[in-house]
Amino acid sequence: MSQDFGCWPLLWEQAVMWAANGAGNSQISVHLFRQWWHRAGRAQAHAEWLTQELRMPGAHNAQRPMDPDRLRPPGTVEEYDKTCGIYAVMFRIKPKPFVHEPSTGEGQREGPYPAYEDDAFGTEFSICHTDIQERQRDKYGWAQSSYLYGAPTFVQKDIAENGLQHGLDGLLSLDESCKKQELIPFASYERYKRRGVRDVLPQATSPDELLLASCADAAVVLRSESGRFYWLNRKYRDFPRPRYLYSVLHTVLGRRKHMTLKEATSHNFDDCIYRILARHLDQIHAEVHQPMQAEEIRHLLMVERTLQTILFPWFEFRLLLRGFSADKPIIHLRSLASGEVCTRDPWISQAMNLATSTHRFLESLMAIQIHEALEHVRDKILKKEELSPVELKVLQPFRAYLESGGNPVLMPTVRSGTKPRKELTVVELYDETMPCPPGCGCSTLQIKKKLKSTMVARMANAAQATKNRETIVAFFEHHYGN
């Protein structure tokens, strides 16, 4: 199965089950694994808090440049994990005296750091941990990131309930199964079946640890997205235009670090950034294939995610689309310092009401592709045609839906946070994104009527509908069992 799917969440589930089953009777391994996912959960919560904090009032001061610590991006889970050795030393061994080294003029300890058994609030631990980390950063060239552990509880709760992908779980991190079948063009295991630490913790687990477990599971899903560029069409992956845009923004934003808000306003800094984005994003959009499909939307989404990271902490950036046509994308750029939306086009405020965010656009496109794939599978089953083993595994979450004749309630649940969220059918998608007013006679309304009538007919007690459902049930029982 891992060879067919080959995704990070599956490997994570296997590691979680290994630890839950005793890790080969190694209590040390169980303890170290628990320490690792605790750090991963804190790291991910802190990264999310850094971005949320800058949207709050008072984060920017008009009279002085921003605090340099706020300019550091949050450390990734991998960067937090570099502290494994530091943790092991600090927790286990008693210290030796601090010794001044005359030859270098620097102080150093002859031995490791203490266990800090009486450090109730972690103050000494944090000071020593930061000291070692800074020394290792200078020695080994680690990135200058922010490694604090101070995310408020409400940030962890939000991650636990809603996840980090906002409905995109599995839609970006394609896996090996997508090479072997074309029915469901995304990581269906990650979207519908993945399990993590939260699923195996005992009921007596404290609420704080449950939140950390959810944050760690969400971090793994986000980590699986890091391989997304590999799956992009090579033509898009090697486009020079996005890289040039990133380089220009790094140069311009490097000057912003030394400016106060008042100075940036007097130099029309926000307008400068908007003009740079508008020019290059229009060219990037013109280079992709039209009309846009999932590959093109993923490319634009990756560009958007990268730009959001670069523009932090000065701007909130989103890219909005107006359908599959060649219409230019709409740039939503809001200054985090002034709270104003930056725009040079007066028509954008009206157009934004008709536009859709890239991640919502991709999710809608995938709902349509899922519908087409399930229709194709249904026809093959009724014609007694065989499906490949990989296709059978990919379709397993949709078994109840297909056996019922298309009951929307039986669509699989998306594994994104603790709040259950059912996968939308294409009818529900149209109702949610394109509602029709009373008396509307548009083509969308006719499509919805046809889809709803088909669903009702398949779920009815008519002889042919019942026979078709029995055929589908028998097919799945043959391949999956009861």
CA atoms within 13 A on the CB side of 255: 11
Give tens-digit pLDDT for 420-433.
788 888 888 877 76
CB 457 within 8 A of CB 465: yes
Q: Which tokens in the block code for residue 1? A: 């199965």
Comparing CA positions, the residue from 183, 165, 45 lying closest to residue 415 is 165
**pLDDT band with cut points at 50, 70 and 90 for residue 96:** very low
Q: Which residues contact 442 (CB under 8 A, 6 or more apart)?
A: 436
Distance of CA 195 to the CA centre of its chain: 16
Q: Pick 143 or 173 by higher pLDDT.
A: 143
26 vs 470: CA distance, rounded Å: 49
Given a cut of 70, is residue 470 above it in pLDDT? yes
64 vs 67: CA distance, rounded Å: 9
- Tokens 């499909």 correspond to 293
258 vs 311: CA distance, rounded Å: 15
Give tens-digit pLDDT for 345-374.
655 666 666 677 888 888 888 888 888 888
H helices, E strands: number in the chain: 25, 8
Instruction: Write down the pLDDT at residue 274.
Output: 92
Give tens-digit pLDDT for 69-85.
556 666 665 665 555 55
Q: Strand, helix or coil at 98?
A: strand
CA–CA distances in Å: residue 283 to residues 143, 213, 315: 32, 42, 22
Give tens-digit pLDDT for 100-124.
444 444 444 444 444 555 655 556 6
CA–CA distances in Å: residue 127 to residues 123, 124, 350: 6, 5, 52
Q: Where are the domains of the chain?
A: 13-82+142-172+185-221, 232-354, 362-480
Output the average pLDDT for the chain: 76
Q: Strand, helix or coil at 427?
A: helix
pTM comes to 0.72
What are the helix (H) ranges across 225-336? 228-231, 234-237, 240-256, 261-266, 269-287, 294-311
Give tens-digit pLDDT for 136-157.
777 777 666 665 556 778 888 8
Q: Tell me, what DSSP letter sits at residue 397? A: G
Give tens-digit pLDDT for 227-277.
554 455 566 777 888 889 999 999 998 888 888 888 888 888 999 999 999
User: Percent of the chain at pLDDT above 70?
Assistant: 68
96 vs 86: CA distance, rounded Å: 16
- Tokens 């930056």 correspond to 342
CB 180 within 8 A of CB 375: no
CA–CA distances in Å: residue 82 to residues 70, 79, 136, 140, 282: 22, 5, 10, 11, 40
**pLDDT band with cut points at 50, 70 and 90 for residue 472:** very high
